[in-house]
Amino acid sequence: MRFVFGRQNFSSIGPVPSVAMQRAPLTRRERLAKRACDIVLAMTALVLLAPLMLMTALAIKLDSVGPVIFRQRRTGFDGRKFFIYKFRILSMIEDGTQIVQTRGKDLRVTGVGRMLGQSSIDELPQLFNVLKGEMSLVGPPPPDIADGDRAAVSSFAHLRHFKPGMTGWARVNGLRGEAQTIEDMQKRTELDLWYVNNWSLMLDLKIIWRTCFELKQPRAS
Q: Are 81 and 75 in contact (CB under 8 A)?
A: yes
pLDDT value of residue 10: 44
pLDDT value of residue 21: 56
Domain residues for the domain of 177 are 23-214
pLDDT value of residue 175: 77
Considering its fold, how many domains does the chain have in total? Answer: 1
Whole-number Cα distances in Å, 221 to 104, 116, 162, 185, 199: 5, 12, 30, 19, 31
Distance of CA 206 to the CA centre of its chain: 17
Q: Within a domain: residue 100?
A: yes
Q: Within a domain: residue 10?
A: no
Q: Within a domain: residue 6?
A: no
Q: Within a domain: residue 164?
A: yes
Q: Within a domain: residue 172?
A: yes
Q: Within a domain: residue 131?
A: yes
Closest CA to 220 of 177, 174, 184, 187: 177
Q: What is the mean pLDDT of each run of 10 residues along the chain (221 residues)?
A: 44 49 78 96 97 95 89 84 91 55 62 85 96 94 62 49 88 74 78 88 95 69 45
The answer to pTM > 0.85 is no
